[in-house]
């Protein structure tokens, strides 16, 4: 065969299996999204359309990959939890990280016009992906707590910052200066006293991020047992830092 | 800071630098493209529109990443050669493989309607990516020879197969049966004697695949020397197995 | 500095940290010990001197590395459990596997003459080492159960085999043939009826292997609290497959 | 089989092949050799016995592993070059680094009494090992140049330092102070003018380190061709920074 003399080049493809028995978290981040959001005039501090498009892409990914049981998104990033026992693509690192990031990206571009009907996509956006392994349930919970705490911190800052600029007439330099050294309660106070904004009454989507959970559906078909219980992906904007979230959904962290 | 008690989860993000001083080849493959091509009625054995769309995505990737100096595409796959000395993303494995695969995917979806104006994209396609390291120039040349030899073998088979089906009225089962055990010259003979097709006169794009080469542009601006010579990406459908291709483009494999 | 122009070669030393938060098991195996045991006339089926020397080397390793909390040895291999939270050598893979295997080897050669006073060491023996990561306590227990079950299977076979040869006058070929297809109870029966050996009354060291456990020592020094509780390494030849072993030593598998 | 229910623990043993087609350099370092050399009263600045023992262990390693073609040692470290095409242990990382470090250690302890007949070994010494991959011949040469340049720098410093202490009557603190900020020529001058020592006439073993080269032996046995040309390992104390060394031994860096 004409090809066989070159086939040795495949010997350079080394195996890259991820350790079994641990959770995988895939985090996908927008690549150069500062530029991308400027170019497409994303609203500040939050662009509902852009967030919904991220949510849609994440939902598509979870519909396609049943072993992804949880997603959490904020701004231009989304994190996904894979079942501990997943054997997706034989746990090959490159295969998983590239394919899932690719599908997320594809869905983002595919659905763009639905969320931005009046803003044509100016150029193809891209995302990077990384997989982090977490051995235990504590670390998984803390990972997602870390992301949601980050959402809170960023959103409070950005909300106050843009209120100072958009409603308070400050320059961005002035607004940064105003906020330097302030604590959370100071920002709440600025929002309330100067702009009449009660931060805690803002849309939970902005304050809490987007939580996508796979929920199993009960199935009763006259005694017939289906091979896999059907599931659907549900969107929430709830607290995932406290234990309640996990206690009510113990299936997310089951061992197998 | 509210976030700091969770920050330890970052300790689980392990470094993944690729060895310096070796060539990287990134190969991107369509994921479940058999189904995708059926769904979108790709022409057999080759769909020019689909190939041109792949080429366009590859071109976008090379425009964005100057350290990608060569691309080779056939069917639903594309291989890219990165400069040996590239320090792209500090040679971090996941970052490179995910971001470049993401951009390729994004461009593919973005430009779909240009090549398939009458066929709406039915769902978001995805690609997987992998990076293989090649230490020497011989292995790099042999890698690309391997892919082009594969192009030849597949295309000769597919061309004959679909001629038997589309023009010869065979079922696909019959056509597979007809071709079982045949050599290249037998397939040439079938094409010529039964269908009047001279294989070697078919479009080089089908027989040779798509070769994308970065070529440096001469720059003369009244003695002014620019920091980096500008380059453009050129499309060819030439032989890359023989040494001539590489000899004429020694810059592709330079050490640094 | 004369050296600086070459210092770039250090860039090729890539990081190799092991995932945090998981148990490490180091398994050290004799390299070509079939030849080594022949050369030094090890007694069959078990050479007490050789086993005690292995135990001594293992003990030395555990004295030196407090994060090694458990050892299990049989024949020419020894497995070691490292505390889940160990930060030994910053969890660098090569550093740990090479240094601990080196120390084990060194101790083996160092103490040789104590266990083989009449048999000079003929040449330097070597061992290989490997580290396997186990995320959970179940896998750790099962790993050690796997090794002890292996000890049992091998020792029952070897004991019967060498009884047939040494006491029964069979050739080794005949003995293998006699044992082909036999179950455990058949071997027990052969040992008892033909050689008067009650397998279960043989030395536990042979049947169970060697278990080295780190035990914490109580410390009372007139109210003075020492920084680290002292510990000593204790040798046992007990069952480690059943849960009792682990339940009585819950400290081995604590999270941190 | 009693063992089979635990056999799944082997799934956690992940493959760790090293990239083909690149040179491996194994560097072995004494672990805590400052303490070890104090304990065993090594002569300062160089202990001939200790260096010869290192050389002997390195020689043993090279006799055992024909794919190790070059060794370079200084002080308590030794570097080894493996043939680019070696398939030793299928290029498994842990296997190679642990086994070779183990053999080196073993030989060091085994031969101790030959070089230190009057100094019993006080405790088992250990070494760590690491493997670095080098893609090209330039990097390999520069790696060894780096080590020999280091030998020169360290030895010139140490020689001068200990002359100041041993012959000049300085304390170690004073000697460090005397040498602070000095250049090579200053140290030469101190040695010559104050102690009558011509550095360049000191033993080459100290100034250049130990070079172990595998040399092929011609074989003529009445036309009979042996399967593998025999080789022997030769000790040199020559310059390996300049090109001459490599030009005269082109076989060291051949591709296969």
Instruction: Among C21, C135, C255, select the one facing A21 at the smallest CB separation.
Output: C135
**Residues in B touching D22 (Cβ below 8 Å):** 19, 22, 135
B47 at interface of D, judged by CB pairs closer than 8 A: no
Q: Where are the alpha helices (DSSP H) in chain D?
A: 33-39, 48-64, 93-115, 137-162, 172-179, 184-195, 204-208, 243-247
Asked if C21's CB is within 8 angstroms of A19's CB, the reply is no
The nearest CA of chain C is from the CA of A119 a distance in Å of 44
Measure CB to CB from residue C94 to each of D105, D110, D130 and give the nearest one. D130
Q: Of the candidates B12, B15, B20, which has its C-beta nearest C15's C-beta?
A: B15
Per-residue pLDDT tens over the stretch C37-51: 999 999 999 999 999
Q: Report D:172-231 residues touching C (Cβ under 8 A).
A: 184
Structural domains in chain A, CATH included, are 16-138+204-253 (3.30.70.3000)
| pLDDT over 80 (residue B222) | no
Task: Indicate the residue of B14, B15, B19 with minimum beta-carbon distance to C12.
Answer: B19
Contact D7, C153 (CB under 8 A): no
- Here the contacts of A32-39 (C-beta below 8 Å, separation 24 or greater) are A32/A126, A33/A75, A33/A76, A33/A125, A36/A76, A36/A125, A37/A76, A39/A122, A39/A123
Q: In angstroms, what separates the C-alpha of A72 from chain C's closest C-alpha?
A: 23
**pLDDT value of position C230:** 79
pLDDT of C238 above 70: yes
- Across chain C, mean pLDDT equals 94
How many inter-chain contacts (A to D, CB under 8 Å) are there?
17
CA distance A77 to chain B (A): 14
Cβ contacts of C99 on chain D, cutoff 8 Å = 31, 126-128
Q: Is C206 annotated as a binding residue?
A: no
Q: Which SS3 state, helix, strand or coil, does residue D119 take?
A: coil
Least confident of B236-250, C91-105, D137-151, D219-233: D219-233
pLDDT at C225: 55
Average pLDDT value for residue range B44-50: 97
Chain C: residue nearest D29 by CA?
C99
Measuring CA to CA, how many Å separate B97 from each of A61, A77, B21, D13?
A: 18, 18, 18, 25
> Nearest C-alpha of chain C: how many angstroms from B226?
28
CB B28 within 8 A of CB B104: yes
In chain A, whose CA is at the least distance from the CA of C133? A19
Closest among C81, C65, C66 to C133, alpha carbons compared: C81
Please state, in angstroms and rounded to a whole number, the distance separating the CA atoms of residues B249 and D45: 55
Using the Cβ of A246 and the Cβ atoms of chain B, whether some distance falls under 8 Å is answered with no
What pLDDT score does D1 carry? 52
Q: What is the edge-to-edge ordering of all strands in the sheet holding D23-31?
A: D126-134, D23-31, D77-82, D68-74, D210-216, D231-236
Q: In A, which residues are within 8 Å of C255 by CB distance?
A: 136
Provide the shortest C-alpha distance from residue C12 to chain B (in Å). Answer: 6
Which residues on chain D are in Cβ contact (under 8 Å) with C2? 149, 152-153, 184
Half-sphere exposure of C8 (CA within 13 A, CB side): 10
Query: Distance (Å, rounded) from C-alpha C114 to C-alpha A34?
Result: 71
Strands A23-31 and A68-74: unpaired
Average pLDDT of the residues in C186-190: 97
Q: Which of D14, D17, D20, D22 to mutate to test binding with chain B, by most B CBs within 10 Å of its CB? A: D22
pLDDT, chain A, mean: 94
User: How high is the pLDDT of residue D216?
Assistant: 81
**Chain A residues close to C24, C-beta within 8 Å:** none
Determine whether the interchain pair A134/C21 forms a contact, defined as Cβ–Cβ distance below 8 Å.
Answer: yes
More confident residue, C114 or A228: C114
Which of A124, A149, A153, A181 to mutate against chain B (most B CBs within 10 Å)?
A124
Counting residues of chain A whose pLDDT is more than 90, the rounded percentage is 90
Task: Tell me the three state secondary structure of residue B27.
Answer: strand
pLDDT of residue C229: 60
pLDDT higher than threshold 60 for residue C220? no
pLDDT on residue C221:
59
Residue B254: the pLDDT is 82
The C residues from 80 to 109 touching D (CB cutoff 8 Å) are: 93-95, 97-99, 101-109
Spell out, as residue ranges, where chain D has pLDDT lower than 50.
none
Confidence of residue A221 (pLDDT cuts 50, 70, 90): low
Q: Which of A7, A8, A14, A84 to mutate to test the interface with D (most CBs of D within 10 A)?
A: A14
Query: Is the pLDDT confidence value at B15 over 70?
Result: yes
Which chains does C contact via 3+ CB–CB distances below 8 A? A, B, D
What confidence score (pLDDT) does residue B2 get?
A: 58
Q: Which residue has the tokens 């919970």?
A: A141
Facing A131 at nearest CB: one of B60, B94, B149: B94
How confident is the model over A235-254, as a mean pLDDT? 94
Can you tell me the ipTM of this complex?
0.94
Question: Over the stretch B143-194, which tens digit does the pLDDT of each residue have?
Answer: 999 999 999 999 999 999 999 999 999 999 999 999 999 999 999 999 999 9
- Predicted confidence (pLDDT) per residue in A9-57, tens digit: 999 999 999 999 999 999 999 999 999 999 999 999 999 999 999 999 9
Q: Kindly state the helix (H) or strand (E) to which residue C205 belongs, with its residue range.
A: helix C204-208
| Touching chains, D (3+ CB pairs < 8 A) | A, B, C
Cβ neighbours of residue D161 closer than 8 Å, sequence gap 6 or more: D45, D172, D175, D176, D179
d(CA A105, CA A137): 29
The angle, 0 to 180 degrees and rounded to 10, between the axes of the packed helices D93-115 and C93-115 is 40
Q: Indicate whether C222 pLDDT > 70.
A: no
Per-residue pLDDT band for B20 (boundaries 50, 70, 90) equals very high
- Give me the pLDDT at residue A230, please: 79
pLDDT digits (tens, 9 = 90+) for D168-187: 999 999 999 999 999 999 99
pLDDT given at position A220: 54
Task: Let me know: does C103 contact C80? Beta carbons within 8 Å.
Answer: no
Q: Of A77, A75, A70, A76, which is closest to residue A23 (Cα–Cα)? A: A70
pLDDT per residue as tens digits for the range B86-124: 999 999 999 999 999 999 999 999 999 999 999 999 999
pLDDT score of C223: 56
Chain-wide mean pLDDT for chain B? 94
Query: For C10, which residue in chain B has the nearest alpha carbon?
Result: B20
Chain segment D18-49, per-residue pLDDT in tens:
999 999 999 999 999 999 999 999 999 999 99
Q: How many CB atoms lie within 10 A of CB A106?
A: 26
Chains with ≥3 Cβ pairs under 8 A against B? Answer: A, C, D
How far C236 CA lies from chain A's nearest CA (Å)?
A: 30
Structure tokens at D76: 């308590």
pLDDT at D226: 55
CA distance D28 to D104: 8
């Amino acid at each position: 065969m004409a090809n066989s003399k070159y086939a040795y080049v495949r010997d350079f493809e080394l195996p890259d299996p991820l350790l079994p028995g641990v959770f995988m978290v895939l985090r996908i981040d927008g690549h150069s999204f500062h530029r991308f959001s400027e170019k497409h005039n994303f609203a500040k501090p939050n662009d509902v359309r852009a967030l919904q498009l991220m949510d849609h892409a994440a939902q598509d990914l979870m519909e396609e990959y049943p072993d992804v049981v949880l997603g959490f998104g904020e701004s231009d990033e989304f994190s996904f939890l894979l079942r501990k026992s997943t054997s997706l693509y034989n746990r090959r690192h490159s295969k998983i990280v590239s394919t899932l990031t690719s599908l997320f990206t594809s869905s983002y571009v595919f659905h763009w016009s639905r969320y931005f009907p009046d803003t044509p996509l100016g150029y193809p956006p891209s995302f990077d992906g990384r997989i982090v392994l977490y051995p235990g349930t504590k670390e998984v919970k803390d990972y997602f707590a870390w992301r949601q705490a980050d959402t809170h911190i960023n959103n409070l800052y950005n909300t106050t910052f843009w209120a100072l600029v958009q409603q308070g007439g400050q320059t961005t330099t002035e607004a940064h200066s105003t906020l330097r050294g302030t604590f959370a309660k100071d920002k709440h106070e600025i929002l309330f006293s100067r702009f009449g904004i009660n931060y805690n009454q803002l849309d939970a989507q902005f304050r809490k991020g987007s939580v996508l959970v796979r929920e199993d559906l009960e199935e009763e078909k006259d005694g017939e047992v289906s091979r896999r219980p059907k599931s659907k992906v549900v969107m929430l904007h709830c607290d995932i830092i406290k234990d309640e979230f996990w206690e009510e959904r113990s299936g997310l962290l089951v061992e197998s």
